[in-house]
Amino acid sequence: MMTDVSRKVPDEVYAGLYPYYAELCALSELRKKPGHGVRVRSGWGGHSLLYLNGVRLDRDVGHPTLKLCEPDAEPARHGVGLSVNSHYKNANWVAAEGRDFVWRGALASGERLSAEAYERTQNYAKSIGVLDGVAFHDALFRDKPRGMSERDYMYEISVATDYAVRFGRNTYGARIPLDHQRMARIVRYLNDLNAPYRDGSKTFQWRLFNNNCSHVAHNALAEANVWAPWPTGEWPVTAAFRFPVPKNEFVDLVLRANDLPIKDPRAIYRDEAARRALLETGTVPAAPGALAISAGAITDNDVYHTKRLKLIFYDKSFLRPYWRHFSRIFREPRYTDLRANLAHFASLYRSAREESAPLAGGDPEGDERARFHACYYRSIEGEAERIRRVLASLDHIVLPRAVTESGASL
């Protein structure tokens, strides 16, 4: 049975500490019960969703387009969840606005997911224009029930995939703090990705090996130098042996954001994406505040099956490294608990200041190496100071009783 893993601090508290953050989410399969509109079932590979806090939708465009909240525009209060699937004809991705709506739709806390709540959520999605300006491929409408409008059908088959994802899916999120500069890069990349579909110069075709939901989320984070980009458009036979899948990506990002050898500047320098991040933005992909989040599907549920929902790894080795990493992530508090995470990074930064030696220069790369080393130490000092500020803020926050006693914040 899926159980919620503690975040120790509620979403709104975390967003107050880290207004700009990304959360790459792996979503389980989806199985809808009969008798509630169109019957929907997905595969065991699940689905990927990218949540961006500090970002809003630009509703004046009439097509999925993002705009970045400026620091004085309360970025902590806003966020969007981006989804990619094979439905879309004139968009690579769509987005739902509002953290609570992305996860729970229009369902109130403690409310049962009834047929009425299910319909209310769809009506709300229509009112905020989740699919405004988006066309679906014609072939999808062959299964549309007689008497249902195309618009209603589009919103019906998008529930629990493009919005209200916990209605029928278990979720695993890898959350990584960003800043205004890096989030701006992500927003620009995603808007550019949708542009040729918006103007009609291209028709979107989802492809499992070459252009799936995980490609978009991965490459959006690559724009912020979190990791190297994942190529698209490869020869399918080659791509079939290695392509991103949601649950693998979740594990990879948790480990990337927490386990890079940040005490070793030489190792960071050899990592191209990490080196570029440090030189261009003064940051390292591994940083305090990066957490793993887990939440089950809404169990008090009339509409979806919520037991034994599958989400597989693409794990070719008989050693099953992804399963071992996944188990460790939810066994060690530093991956899921903010205070433990901050204490872990504080220890790493103390060691880095004591043990790190300058990179050798005296070659054509010497200037870059010297600049890198200066950036490295500034980053270490800056992040250590931010840990002190965050811990001081947490000391003054009174958590809800349920969080204090049980750690449950979902």
13 near 76, Cβ under 8 Å? no
The predicted pLDDT at position 207 comes to: 84
Stretch 245-261: mean pLDDT: 96
Task: Answer yes or no: is 5 within a domain.
Answer: no
Confidence at 407, pLDDT banded by 50, 70, 90? very low
- Structural domain for 250, as ranges: 11-406
Task: Answer yes or no: is 6 within a domain.
Answer: no
What would the two tokens of residue 375 be?
Answer: 């950036």
pLDDT in tens, 107-127: 998 999 999 999 999 999 999
- Percent of the chain exceeding pLDDT 70 equals 90
Task: Answer yes or no: is 4 within a domain.
Answer: no
pLDDT in tens, 277-303: 999 999 999 999 999 999 999 999 999
382 near 345, Cβ under 8 Å? no
pLDDT in tens, 69-90: 999 999 999 999 999 999 999 9
pLDDT in tens, 195-208: 999 988 899 988 87
Stretch 241-261: mean pLDDT: 93
Average pLDDT of the chain?
90
Distance CA 278, CA 374 (A): 10
The predicted pLDDT at position 167 comes to: 97
The predicted pLDDT at position 398 comes to: 61
How many domains, in total, are found in the chain? 1
pLDDT in tens, 346-397: 999 999 988 765 555 544 456 888 899 999 999 999 999 999 999 999 988 7
pLDDT in tens, 3-57: 444 456 789 999 999 999 999 999 999 999 998 888 888 888 899 999 999 999 9
Task: Answer yes or no: is 256 within a domain.
Answer: yes
Task: Answer yes or no: is 2 within a domain.
Answer: no
Task: Answer yes or no: is 229 within a domain.
Answer: yes
Stretch 201-219: mean pLDDT: 88
Distance CA 121, CA 106 (A): 5
The predicted pLDDT at position 360 comes to: 55
